[in-house]
Amino acid sequence: MNKPDIKKLKYPLWLQIVFYVLTVVGPLVLIAVEGFKSPQAAFRFTFGVIAGLLLTWTFLKKFIIVKFVKKFTDKKSTLEHEYEVEIGTPEKVKYLWYENELLLNLFEAINVTLFGSLICVIAYGVQSGSYKVKAITIIIAMLYVIAYIIKFVYIFVMRNKDYNTEEEAQENS
């Protein structure tokens, strides 16, 4: 059985790539370069380990764990519905819901711990003078401004293009 072809509104691939590079890749590369330029070997090592773990976790989460999270989120919704309409034993439904929540919270806790650890290491590096943030902050802010300007221009151009085309077609009829 073939899946129905459902039209979806989405951005073109080139815009997604440019936006991703300017808002994720660029800042991460700048943060990594600055972190590895530190004169303190202990800071570079700690920064490298935590950044590596975070990068690995992000890819695992994006390509593998997302399937499990979706499955657990769907199960959570089903369990909430079963509890609401009183299907099955309420105690068993609550137990399964809490067990499901444990797994969802485990994924979130790993994510928060890794990001928090990186923020703490960077904050320590700034405090100890191992990490310079003035120039990198300005560059990252400029990357975000450029990314959103490109996105807004694309949205305005495409919005008017599609709308004007429909209007002209109606006027010519």
d(CA 158, CA 173): 23
DSSP letter string, 24-52: IIHHHHHHHHHHHT-S-HHHHHHHHHHHH
Cβ atoms within 10 Å of 58's Cβ, excluding its own: 16
> Model's pTM, two decimal places?
0.66
The ranges assigned to domains in the chain are: 30-130, 132-161
Using CB atoms within 10 Å of the CB of residue 131, give its burial: 0 to 12 exposed, 13 to 18 middle, 19+ buried. Answer: buried
Q: What is the distance between the terminal CA atoms of the chain, rounded to a whole angstrom? A: 40
pLDDT per residue rounded down to tens, the chain (173 residues): 677 777 778 899 999 999 999 998 899 889 888 888 888 888 899 999 999 999 899 889 988 999 999 999 999 888 888 888 878 788 888 888 889 999 999 999 999 999 999 999 988 888 888 777 888 889 999 999 999 999 999 999 988 776 665 566 666 66
Q: Are the CB atoms for 69 and 104 separated by under 8 Å?
A: yes
